[in-house]
A = this chain, B = another copy of it.
């Protein structure tokens, strides 16, 4: 029995934690789950995220195979981000997370602390 790398030894939970480690990863995926977005659109959807960071996180997601980056060779430039197939398979997870998030918010005396982003995901 060839022990195919440690692939089967990897903790799935840890793997996911690594994927969504970035501060804005989940929210980005959340937005992309609704529809394909241009870079500019994402910026407007996430005003708190600077360009550089947004780019970086998108690159991470792309590298991890969750996001597809489509570059249109035009002037002015146009780049569209969308979910890959695997990325789309993550949507149910996002749904569960969002759903539980609402539940959590409604059942906790939360301390917003640093302001939480409003990303228009309320229902």
Contacts and interface: CB of A to CB of B under 8 A. Distances in A.
B89 A103 contact: yes
Number of copies: 2
Interface in A79-123: 86, 89-90, 92-94, 96-108, 110, 112-122
Contact of A19 (B14, B16, B18, B104): B104
Interface in A12-53: 12-21, 23-27, 30
B17 A122 contact: no
Contacts of A89: 100, 103-104
A12 B102 contact: yes
A73 interface: no
Contacts of A26: 13-14, 16-17
Contact of A97 (B13, B24, B86, B117): B13
A14 B112 contact: yes
A70 interface: no
Nearest to A119: B11
A96 B96 contact: yes
